[in-house]
Chain A
Amino acid sequence: MGFFFEVLIGGLLSGVLYALVALGFVLIYKASGVFNFAQGAMVFFAALTFVGFQEVLPGWTGLEPGSIAVFWMAFVLALASMVVLGILTEKVVLRPLVNQPHITLFMATIGLTFLVEGIAQAIWGNHVRGLDLGIADEPIEWVLDSADIIVSKFDVFAATLAGILVASLALFFQYTKVGRALRAVADDHQAALSIGIPLQHIWAIVWAVAGFVALVAGLIWGARSGVQFALTFTALKALPVLILGGFTSVPGAIVGGLIIGASEKLAEVYIGPFVGGGIEGWFPYMLALLFLLVRPEGLFGEKHIDRV
């Protein structure tokens, strides 16, 4: 039974990471109706930029490599790059495409994916880098002693960070003026425009916030498995999370992420051996697909009513 829980907890915690990526998708989809395929690339870009700055900053400023100051400066610079990237995306890619069909916007974000991946690697190079957040990836001793289950400190840290992020986003949406404007835009573009909410500012803000979420996700992912191109494929796993949770729901992204993470690990361990293993790669998609057959709008998605 201990093994089962270990797999379950490991899965749930990797689900947290999927949820973080999915969260970025949901924010943008809610506010602007754009299905941002480039979110995975943004996560990669953010992580690479952070690591890149961490490498070059000591040389520029004479600070000691690996010090707290370098960490925070790299964080701030990476965050600034993400904000700039988000605003540029809104201005250069999306604004000219306003009123185009959704499918066109979606394809534009696929183009953006390639562009962002190419730029990130052109600036910072192609090699795999390690990322150290200063949290050791080792089991928590008292849990190991009392329940005989291995729970990594790092995973708990990641989950806590994700929890704080989601909570602060929820507070931001609920209680700030900008947050309220964001929700208004998400509800109805035209109504929001008519009461004087500047739509394009809001979109720029949403892209910047999504960039921030991407940075957090990128840091955690990168610390876990190294900053490398494969990050963009892992980020694709956020897509089944989205369809499971519904495109428009923040809680859906979280719950969907947990379900996908846990079920893929459990399936790999308990079903995998019967069919030759490696089913982690497609199981989430199949699960999401089967789920959609029952509930086409996802767990928490808004029910879609067709009108002619």
Chain B
Amino acid sequence: MLYREAGQFKASYQEDQQIFPIRQDRIGMAVILAFFFLAVPMLASQYWLQAILIPVLIFSLAAIGLNILTGYAGQLSLGSAAFMAVGAFGAYNFILRIDGMPFLVGVLLGGLSAAAVGVAFGLPSLRIKGFYLAVATLAAQFFIVWALVKFPWFSNNSSSGVITAQQIEILGFAFNTPESKYLLTLAIVTVLAFVAKNLVRSTTGRSWMAVRDMDVAAEVIGIRPMRAKLSAFAVSSFYCGVAGALYAYTYLGTVEPEGFSLDLSFRILFMIIIGGVGSIMGSFLGAAFIVLLPIFLNVGMHAVFGSAMPAGMASNLELIIFGGLIIFFLIVEPHGLARLWQLAKDKLRLWPFPH
């Protein structure tokens, strides 16, 4: 009854092409944004901000990045964590080595260096497809982590490649409380998410989807596969790179190359599978799910077993539940949480009538 687009007429092309064509969606989005920007910093505890909300936001960004490549352009990648590492170490070096480098520009440059590396590793996608490509992206994963460990220049000669992120300062304001870091992360993620949402509706985004659905056919109708694939790799790696920079600066503070392991890449892949392949909204849902699941599991298992729980068992159960959930989701709902969200919205449009 509340959620219905009846009576909302589109009188101009501009209105017809809005991101959220339904008024209730716009209001809803404004409410959600207001909630996260205003209410959450006041209500949430420091633990929630620092240990849950910031990582959820950062992983959402990485998941959007992977979703652009895998969900929209159809190029399966197992190297997203490596591109995050490039972003983190890129931003670190730009801020470290150039005097007076503003933080945001440093993050941007970190993202751009990730994009450059992404394009380099995306080049094989012009020749190879599908699983062959997935294996090729593993090359990126192992090579980049190796290079960051082996060449001490990247980590400013620290032992075993550990870097400690500098103090974040924008226009003289120091971001050192969880609240301020959270707001900074949220602002960057919101902007980039809107950019992504628009990008996938643009010519570029549509060319990605055409290539995903069938690249030979896309080529026949005049889409350049090279441009589409490489731009997908560039944009995707840029997003992952920015996520990596935020991971180092606003979340952990201290990172090492080994932290961006294949395991993290898989985790991001799971986020988009569970959230929904080819959906920006799904990236957020999936990231929240994957970050929260281990925490709830831990709490739940402590409640059930008390402290008698064998140490290794928790991680094993986590593996089992993760794996089981992935298979479950793929069988029951291959389009992920985003699809459930969509179904809920469709039901809501008709509610309270059955048809």
- Which residues of chain B (123-144) have a CB below 8 Å from chain A? 124, 127-132, 134-136, 138-139, 142-143
A101 to chain B, nearest CB (A): 9
Question: With contacts A111-B327, A281-B146 known, is A306 near B216, CB below 8 A?
Answer: yes
Report yes or no: B326 in contact with A114, Cβ–Cβ below 8 A. Answer: yes
- Residues of B within 8 Å of A96, CB to CB, are 331
- Bound-state CA distance A125–B320 (Å) is 14
Report yes or no: B131 in contact with A110, Cβ–Cβ below 8 A. Answer: no
Question: With contacts A110-B269, A126-B312 known, is A285 near B128, CB below 8 A?
Answer: no
Contact with A along B220-262 (1 / 0, CB 8 A): 1000000000000000000000000000000000000000001
A107 touches which of B139, B149, B326 (Cβ 8 Å): B326
- Residues of B within 8 Å of A92, CB to CB, are 327
Report yes or no: B317 in contact with A118, Cβ–Cβ below 8 A. Answer: yes
Report yes or no: A288 in contact with B330, Cβ–Cβ below 8 A. Answer: no
Report yes or no: A292 in contact with B146, Cβ–Cβ below 8 A. Answer: no
- Bound-state CA distance A253–B128 (Å) is 19
- Bound-state CA distance A247–B130 (Å) is 12
Total number of residue pairs linking A and B with CB closer than 8 Å: 135
Report yes or no: B128 in contact with A292, Cβ–Cβ below 8 A. Answer: yes
Report yes or no: A113 in contact with B316, Cβ–Cβ below 8 A. Answer: no
B322 touches which of A114, A121, A307 (Cβ 8 Å): A114
- Residues of A within 8 Å of B325, CB to CB, are 111
Question: With contacts A117-B319, A285-B135 known, is A296 near B150, CB below 8 A?
Answer: no
- Is A104 an interface residue when CB atoms closer than 8 A count as contact? yes
Contact with B along A155-189 (1 / 0, CB 8 A): 00000000000000000000000000000000000
- Is B211 an interface residue when CB atoms closer than 8 A count as contact? no
- Is B266 an interface residue when CB atoms closer than 8 A count as contact? yes
Report yes or no: A110 in contact with B312, Cβ–Cβ below 8 A. Answer: no
- Residues of A within 8 Å of B138, CB to CB, are 236, 239-240, 285
A99 to chain B, nearest CB (A): 11
Stretch of A54-62, A209-217, A271-279 at the chain-chain interface: A271-279
- Bound-state CA distance A286–B120 (Å) is 13
- Is A35 an interface residue when CB atoms closer than 8 A count as contact? yes
Report yes or no: B330 in contact with A286, Cβ–Cβ below 8 A. Answer: no
Report yes or no: B139 in contact with A286, Cβ–Cβ below 8 A. Answer: yes
- Is A201 an interface residue when CB atoms closer than 8 A count as contact? no
- Is A76 an interface residue when CB atoms closer than 8 A count as contact? no
Q: Closest residue of chain B to A89, judged by CB?
A: B327
Question: With contacts A107-B330, A281-B146, A308-B214 known, is A292 near B136, CB below 8 A?
Answer: yes
Report yes or no: A35 in contact with B131, Cβ–Cβ below 8 A. Answer: yes
B77 to chain A, nearest CB (A): 11
B266 touches which of A110, A118, A285 (Cβ 8 Å): A110
Report yes or no: B216 in contact with A115, Cβ–Cβ below 8 A. Answer: no
Question: With contacts A106-B131, A111-B330 known, is A289 near B318, CB below 8 A?
Answer: no
Report yes or no: B146 in contact with A107, Cβ–Cβ below 8 A. Answer: no
Question: With contacts A115-B320, A276-B150, A279-B146 known, is A240 near B135, CB below 8 A?
Answer: yes
Report yes or no: B330 in contact with A296, Cβ–Cβ below 8 A. Answer: no
Which of A115, A236, A288 has the most B CB atoms < 10 Å from its CB? A115
- Residues of A within 8 Å of B330, CB to CB, are 97, 100, 104, 107-108, 111
- Bound-state CA distance A243–B350 (Å) is 51
- Residues of A within 8 Å of B321, CB to CB, are 118
Report yes or no: A243 in contact with B323, Cβ–Cβ below 8 A. Answer: no
Report yes or no: A293 in contact with B319, Cβ–Cβ below 8 A. Answer: no
- Bound-state CA distance A116–B323 (Å) is 8
Contact with A along B256-283 (1 / 0, CB 8 A): 0000001000100110010000000000
- Bound-state CA distance A236–B317 (Å) is 23
- Residues of B within 8 Å of A278, CB to CB, are 146, 149-150
Report yes or no: A114 in contact with B136, Cβ–Cβ below 8 A. Answer: no
B220 to chain A, nearest CB (A): 6
Q: Closest residue of chain A to B331, judged by CB?
A: A96
- Residues of B within 8 Å of A239, CB to CB, are 135, 138
Question: With contacts A114-B326, A276-B150 known, is A285 near B320, CB below 8 A?
Answer: no
CB-CB nearest 5 A-B residue pairs: A111-B326, A118-B319, A115-B323, A114-B323, A285-B139
Q: Can you list 29 pairs linking A and B with CB atoms under 8 Å apart?
A: A92-B327, A102-B131, A103-B76, A103-B130, A104-B334, A106-B134, A108-B326, A108-B331, A112-B323, A114-B319, A116-B323, A117-B319, A118-B318, A118-B322, A119-B316, A121-B319, A122-B316, A125-B312, A240-B135, A242-B135, A278-B150, A282-B139, A282-B143, A282-B146, A292-B124, A292-B136, A298-B132, A306-B216, A308-B217
Given contacts A276-B151, A281-B146, 6 further A-B pairs with CB under 8 A are A107-B273, A107-B330, A111-B326, A114-B319, A118-B317, A285-B139
A residues with a Cβ closer than 8 A to B are 35, 92-93, 96-97, 100, 102-104, 106-108, 110-119, 121-122, 125-126, 236, 239-240, 242-243, 247, 275-279, 281-282, 285-286, 288-289, 292-293, 296, 298, 306-308
B residues with a Cβ closer than 8 A to A are 74, 76, 124, 127-132, 134-136, 138-139, 142-143, 146, 149-151, 214-217, 220, 262, 266, 269-270, 273, 312-313, 316-327, 330-331, 334
